Chains A and B, each alone.
Chain A
Amino acid sequence: DQQVKQNSPSLSVQEGRISILNCDYTNSMFDYFLWYKKYPAEGPTFLISISSIKDKNEDGRFTVFLNKSAKHLSLHIVPSQPGDSAVYFCAASYRAGNQFYFGTGTSLTVIP
């Protein structure tokens, strides 16, 4: 039923260290993945994406890794900053589909 899963509902990391957020999916047709970041009382905003033709995409402090054989992706934030504290959603889609499938979210707290 839940095709995209984020098994860690929360994560706490010290400022300056690496944050690793994980996401697993079950549908092998997914070929495009996104991470969204959500602050309280705001809608999710796009953070970074990756296509299935790649296994890594980097944008500044944010890197997404995709392991297609394991149906697993992860978001690395290095170094973590207090402003990164938010809920992070991973989402997936496939070419012939008509929607994004979202995970349950991971709440990241970066401790100063």
Chain B
Amino acid sequence: SQTIHQWPATLVQPVGSPLSLECTVEGTSNPNLYWYRQAAGRGLQLLFYSIGIDQISSEVPQNLSASRPQDRQFILSSKKLLLSDSGFYLCAWSTGGAFKRSYNEQFFGPGTRLTVL
């Protein structure tokens, strides 16, 4: 069966420090991968999605970047964190190909709570 892992679960970082959040998926090949963020008082917002290695689309211009060095690994990074980067970050996967919007085709990891002080 497929599983998705995210780490760390919680993170407290000072303003200006770098960030690296990792997400890995097991039990499937060539998945689509997604990074979402929920900031205080906001809905889950799509940040990046990837349909393959080194194929990443950015949905919201900001202080963050994403990379996909391996088929089932998705990394969210920042060189210098801002206070506004605080939030809850979720990784998700779906079967590969075009965007899948059916109910049983997008699955979420447990998330990372990031607090920037």
- A binding-site residues for B, Cβ under 8 Å: 2, 4-6, 32, 34, 36, 41-46, 48-49, 89, 91, 93, 97-105
Contacts and interface: CB of A to CB of B under 8 A. Distances in A.
Interface string B76-113: 00000000000000101000000101111011111100
Contact of A99 (B9, B59, B103, B108): B59
Given A43-B110, A45-B108, A2 B43 contact: yes
Given A43-B109, A97-B99, A99-B99, A4 B43 contact: yes
Interface residues of B, number: 27
Interface string B35-79: 010100111111001000000010100000000000000000000
Of B9, B49, B103, the most chain A CB neighbours within 10 A belong to: B103
Contacts of B4: 43
A91 B34 CA distance: 15
Contact of B45 (A6, A34, A102): A102
A58 to B, nearest CB: 14
